[in-house]
Structure 1
Amino acid sequence: MNSLKPLLTFCWAFLFFNFSIAQNSKPTVFTVGDSTVKNGKGDGSGGLWGWGDFIGQFLDTTKVSVENHALGGTSSRTFQDKGLWTAVLNKLKKGDYVLIQFGHNDDGPINDSLRARGTIKGIGNETQEIDNILTKKHEIVHSYGWYIEKIVREAKLKGAIPIICSPIPRNDWKNGKVPRNDTSYGLWAKQIANKEKVTFIDLNNKMALEMEKLGETNVTGTYFYKKDHTHTSAKGAVLSASVIISEVRESKNSLKKYVLKDPKIVLPSKKKVFLVGDSTMANNKDENAVGWGVTFPMFCDTTKIEVINKARGGRSTRTFDHEGLWEEVKNQLQPGNFVLIQFGHNDAGAVDKEKFRGSLKGNGDEIQEVKLSDGSKETVHTFGWYMNKFIREAKEKGAIVIVLSQTPRNEWTNDKVERRTDTYGKWSKEAAEKEGVFYIDLNEIVALKYEALGKEKVKAFFPKDHTHTGFEGAKLNAQTVAESIKKLGVQL
């Protein structure tokens, strides 16, 4: 047996050596560029993404690796001055690919105290000597084309395969068309690609064509957010990446052999926030009875959060449970989801007649057998029992629960808004404490705001009755909920 040890050692060493060679021979696709290639840390902060974050999903990553080295705020000049290109160049090996896209920031000032990132327009050999105000260094600034050509040449010397892209279009529209940059950075990028005989992808024009097919209304808010005409959402970044891949497929570039025939694109998931309650939270299709859940997304970062309003008008804890509405919510819950629960306005109704929506008072284990209009029987529990059930079952699904007391009605006694502190607010709080979840006394917080505004101003919030708010009242309540959640230290 001992005589086999040297042979076994040799075999293992041989296998490890060949495995290492195989790993090292796997080509890498490097992306270099600005924030439209990689926004921030590439984690979707603010809902913004670069196409370099998704290009790998279109490629067979069992055969090729992808590394996104782009950095927001850089130009073709500063990407190199900061040493970012050198870091990529040092890693390059024969057969690697370099996807290059600059231009969005090259139009800035050549020398200032803020960013000093501009380049000379064009592709010529003009230079400008400066004492850089920002870096305190003496510097010779070149043209945009000079910097792009430098990257291309140095990559080629390492045996890598450069691919130049024109900068993605901005979400600016004129008469239903997206303006192109084919007389500036798009043109100059193409000229360098032709000069160096490397693949050029007219990302600017091709993506603009796709945007025009979709139309401005469909693009804005989905592929770009209204707040930002330059940086794409996840869907916008995927659109950019898909255009690049489509052009690679049609090119003679060897990268196309790594393109997947049927890529499965996975978009980053948003946090889901479920709203569970009655008409004071619900979307009631009535402009005079607007639930605060309708306006709640106005106070959320909807680039990261999806608000799902499952509240239903006329429901109590009992009917929300008995009608299967809670079961529907529960079946959708995933770990990390949020559930905001608020009831009380309808639980004071009759237990055994009329709408059959009243729950028993308190939070005990009392029950009452009730015969319904259709002859069937229902076991009715206390308000607190139903609340505990919702909270417990949401927690079992891994959801994060926030319980809220009901919104105050427009009812006043001696210039004070009437509270419900001794009934449904109290029982809601006790249910939250029993199950160890967050609690917001919305009734008290909003009542204090009403009192500060005064009766006359608050009256305008209630155009229909003393319970349901109009749009402005719903906004005040939703903003209060958002502020209160923030004070809890909860990150929605």
Structure 2
Amino acid sequence: MKIFQIITFLLLSICFINCSESEKQHLKKPTVYTVGDSTVKNGKGNGDGGLWGWGDFIGQFLDTTKVSIKNHALGGTSSRTYQNLGLWDSVQKKLHKGDYVLIQFGHNDNGPVNDTIRARGTIKGIGNESEEINNMLTHEHEIVHSYGWYINKIVKESKAKGAIPVIMSPIPRNKWEDGKIPRNNESYGLWAKQIAEKENVTFIDLNDKLAEKLEGFGELKVTGTYFYKRDHTHTSAKGAALAASSIIEGLKQTDNSLKDYVLKNPKITFPKKKNIYLIGDSTMANNNNDMVVGWGIPFPKFVDTMRVNVINKARGGRSTRTFINEGLWDKALAEFKAGDYVFIQFGHNDAGNIDKKKYRGSLPDMGNETQEVNRDSVTETVHTFGWNMIKMIQDTKAKGAIPIVLSLTPRNEWPNGKVERRSETYITWSEQAAKAEDVAYIDLSEAIALKYEALGKEHVKTFFPQDHTHTGKEGATFNALVLAEILKKSKSIGLRDYIELPIQK
């Protein structure tokens, strides 16, 4: 027995000396390969546009100390084009005995067999019929087979390498009929199952399992949580994780050995959301008054809230001076983290009294001059508007957050038939503060004023139901949309991917 153990040890040692690095790694643990389309891996698999495939989350349900995960899916491919492009060959060459291949195709197989755009369709069913074509897209002669033929080829070639294939039916689309999600159990889901039965490999009806869960949530919750309203095919991060969990549940109901690597209590980590903090006065704040609504209230309508938190710290009646002196700024600052965005907008109240009741006025301009003010037995040092703005910008940068300076919103005043601009005071000083600190500046005042002038004085009047400064719901939504449009167009600010504008009719 000892001699046998010594010989085994020597053979393993020789293997580790002579084997390639990939073979050495494989001796340690098997690899789970995922092959499929964009519902398995969207784009580069980094969540562009908030879209993810289940292949990017499946690893969080498995013990990755014992098994490796490799997502080789590619968006836009069908069972046919995945193989024609050589993608399957690159996976097949890497396979070792004991590896796993998770297979899901079908969403793109229903396209045209031959055209000049994608030419990715397959013949419906699992038969051996074929169609000989001169591919109009690749300009190559090609024999097109059935969906089942292509899936069967992947299965057979996986088994030939000693790998263990698992076939999934395609995930459901976020389309509803009478409160239910239509299944694909008479098309690609059925054909995927038939190939699995034919080859005696594991089949997971992902389509039905996921659809059943989604129906339990209801359409209103599903759209905006697991799918975006704009896209009925590709899942959000939560949708991808839900699909992955459905696969895991399916595995547990089989005798497939991959279930031995399933974690008992997986902790699912979602991509960290970006934070956008809003710092300003009543024209941005929640004033608990339908007649006085800051644009920060409807602003989340135009933001991908599945990836972004909008945190409104604005407070009515505040100037740069009082926002700082009352401790509101320090409280907000304590929450900022590196990478957060901080929108700073003041000016409406900074023109108030400096040394009389309300005590909220700041000194004009950008300088370092100060004024001592005595009130309530306390001596306060009052700074300029520009000094206060720069302080907030510098404090934000010190936390690693990203300050964005906005000019104040215009009032409903029309001198000489044009919307009032305060371009010689707070607008200019806000811009100068931004330039002094080399941070982004948005002249929201000018952008909104131009839109107001295009609408006309009578229309704009409806935006201001109480006074000439504060908007109601309609005006606040209009102003928020103007800002969203600016952010969507800006490459430098870095938020365009997170802005969702309404579809133009």
TM-score, L = length of structure 2: 0.88
The within-5 A match list for 1:65-84 is 65-84=68-87
Partner residue in 2 for 1:462: 464
2:334 pairs with 317, 331, 335, which one? 331
Structure 2 residue 375 is the aligned partner of structure 1 residue 371 = yes
Structure 1 runs (4+) deviating above 6 angstroms are 12-19
Q: Say which SS state the counterpart of residue 441 (structure 2) adopts.
A: strand
CA distance in 2, matches of 1:147, 1:441: 56
Distance 1:441 1:354, change over 3 A: same
Amino acid at match of 1:109: P
Secondary structure in 2 aligned to 1:293?
Answer: coil
CA contact (8 A) 1:46 1:303 kept: no
CA distance in 1, matches of 2:323, 2:263: 47
Deviates more, 1:336-345 or 1:283-292: 283-292
Q: For each residue in 1:58-103, what CA deviation from the matched residue of structure 2 results, as whole angstroms up to 9, or x when unmatched?
A: 2222221111111111111111122111111111111110000011
Q: 1:404 & 1:365 partners in 2: Cα distance?
A: 24
Cα offset, 1:436, TM superposition: 2.6
Give the SS at the match of 1:229. Answer: strand
CA contact (8 A) 2:370 2:381 kept: no
SS of 2:195's partner is helix
Seen in structure 2, the aligned counterparts of structure 1 residues 118 and 488 have a Cα distance that, compared at 3 Å, is closer
Change (3 A) 1:14 1:77: closer
Partner in structure 2 of residue 224 of structure 1: 227
Residue pairs, 1:254-333, within 5 angstroms: 254-302=257-305, 304-333=307-336
SS at match of 2:232: coil
Question: What is the match of residue 6 of structure 1?
Answer: none
Task: Indicate whether 1:155 and 2:158 are aligned.
Answer: yes
State the distance in 1 between where 2:162 and 2:439 align: 59
CA contact (8 A) 2:126 2:191 kept: yes
* Candidates 33, 36, 40, aligned match of 2:39: 36
| Consecutive unaligned residues in structure 2, runs of 5 or more | 1-12, 496-505
Q: CA deviation at 1:353?
A: 4.6
Aligned residues between the structures: 479
Q: Is the deviation greater in 375-384 or in 397-406?
A: 375-384
**For 1:238, which of 230, 237, 241 is the aligned residue?**
241
For the aligned residues, what is the CA RMSD? 2.4
CA distance in 2, matches of 1:407, 1:19: 65
1:211 has 2:214 as partner: yes
Secondary structure class of the residue paired with 1:292: coil
Change over 3 Å in CA distance of 1:172–1:461 after alignment to 2: same
Q: Are the counterparts in 2 of residues 368 and 381 from structure 1 also a CA contact under 8 Å?
A: no
Rounded to whole Å, the distance in 2 between the matches of 1:348 and 1:237 is 51
Partner Cα distance (1:19, 1:371) in 2 = 79
Letter in 2 for 1:393: D
Which range moves more in the overlay, 326-335 or 348-357? Answer: 348-357
Structure 1 stretch 101-110 or stretch 112-121: which is displaced more? 112-121
Q: Where does residue 446 of structure 2 map in the other structure?
A: 444
Distance 2:186 2:380 in 1: 74
Q: Which position in structure 2 is the counterpart of 1:49?
A: 52
TM-superposed deviation, 1:267: 1.1
Query: Deviation at 1:202?
Result: 1.0
Residue type at the aligned position of 2:412 = N
Cα deviation, residue 38, structure 1: 0.8
Percentage of pairs with the same residue: 66
1:404 partner amino acid: L
The one-letter amino acid of 1:391's match is I
Matching residue within 350, 355, 377 for 2:353: 350
Give, in whole Å, the separation in 2 of the partners of 1:369 and 1:144.
Answer: 81
Give the secondary structure class of the aligned counterpart of 2:228.
Answer: coil
- Which stretches in structure 1 are left out of the alignment for 5+ residues? 1-11
Match of 2:421 among 415, 419, 422: 419
Deviations 1:388-411 (A, max 9, x none): 221111000111212122111112
